[in-house]
Amino acid sequence: MTGSAGAGYLGVDIGGTNVRAALVGAAGSILLLERWPAEIHLGREHFLGRLAGNLAALRERGAATGIETAAVGLGVPGLIAKTGLVHSSVNLEPLVGLNLKDAVSAETGLPTVVMNDANAAAFGESRYGAGRSYASLLMFTLGTGVGSGLILDGALWTGIDGVAAEYGHATVEPAGLLCPCGNCGCLEQYASATALTRAAITSVQHQGGMLADIPAGELSAETIAAVARRGDTLARSLFEEAGRYLGIVAATVANLLNLEAIIVGGGVAASFDLLDAAIRREVDRRAFAIPAARLVIRPGELGDDAGILGAAALARELSGNAPK
């Protein structure tokens, strides 16, 4: 799909398995889109070479339609410094210790910004999606883990070091399950797709139900949701429990920051209808009445494109091309 001539911004969503990149118009429309395997197991240089080549190709295709690329934004899973240094990334270990901002900027010659992938998704929803009407929000991205991004007064808040708002690692069970981060009882051990699947496998051994008819290797958040919608009590209870844990954290956030909205995105967000009531119930039970009543809880609108659009939007704003 092509658009009218003007400025474009490259938004890149880097995952452990695939990379998606788009040339995005000033109003948030995706003009061109590419996807390729991350192949991070082949090492840093291979990864960076493939990234540079595909970004160059997108720029060339855009230029052929009159779109001049003005800046680049990249969303990366892990702890990312404001400088663009990758402090840690479980799925992209070869990039740890690399200043990705400097590397991409040197290759492209363009202003570049690098951010955590959940921060990119939150910024995308705040500019073009479910968060457009709110100046303050927290977004949860529910997938293999639980990521989050925080918007305060319309701006992405990343803290002094760039690693703020990691609410997937808020403690919800002090003596709970061990998390790969080193803590025990993190939210993502109870509300992620991985957590739902693990809980289903454990619970079905004792409770049976429709889930017992599904081989363990085929259980996923999607299959559990499908069974829940068919009325299975166990499947519904698994989502309600995940929603309860999300609500505990959301209530704490409501009391701390008096936000306008919680946005739920990521793959598990397709099952928002199975989580919503439990989240709301816990917020109303635990938060003060004023911030609880203020807080809107809703699903994201941009799906897999939230990160791409958010990365491109932040690149646009930090390059000085945002609307005044």
pLDDT, tens only, 77-105 = 999 999 999 999 999 999 999 999 999 99
Q: Any idea where the domains of the chain sit in the sequence?
A: 6-124+304-318, 130-301
What is residue 3's predicted lDDT score, i.e. its pLDDT? 40
The Cα 130–Cα 292 span in angstroms is 19
Ranges under pLDDT 70 in the chain: 1-5, 321-324
What is residue 323's predicted lDDT score, i.e. its pLDDT? 58
Per-residue pLDDT tens for 12-64? 999 999 999 999 998 999 999 999 999 999 999 999 999 999 999 999 999 99
Domain pair 6-124+304-318 / 130-301, same fold: yes
pTM over 0.85, yes/no: yes
| Complete DSSP assignment for 61-116 | HHHHTTEEEEEEEEEESSEE-TTSBEEE-GGGGGGTT-BHHHHHHHHH-S-EEEEE
- The contacts of residue 94 (CB under 8 Å, 6+ apart) are 40, 43, 44, 47
Closest Cα partner for 229 from 216, 203, 205, 210? 210
**CATH superfamily entry for domain 130-301:** ATPase, nucleotide binding domain (3.30.420.40)
Does the domain at 6-124+304-318 match CATH 3.40.50.1400? Answer given as no
With beta carbons less than 8 A apart as the criterion, state whether 271 and 221 touch: yes
Q: At what angle do helices 233-257 and 193-207 cross, to 10 degrees?
A: 140
Closest Cα partner for 150 from 160, 159, 161, 139? 139
What is residue 58's predicted lDDT score, i.e. its pLDDT? 97
The Cα 119–Cα 149 span in angstroms is 4
What is residue 97's predicted lDDT score, i.e. its pLDDT? 98
What is residue 6's predicted lDDT score, i.e. its pLDDT? 86
What is residue 322's predicted lDDT score, i.e. its pLDDT? 64
What is residue 5's predicted lDDT score, i.e. its pLDDT? 64
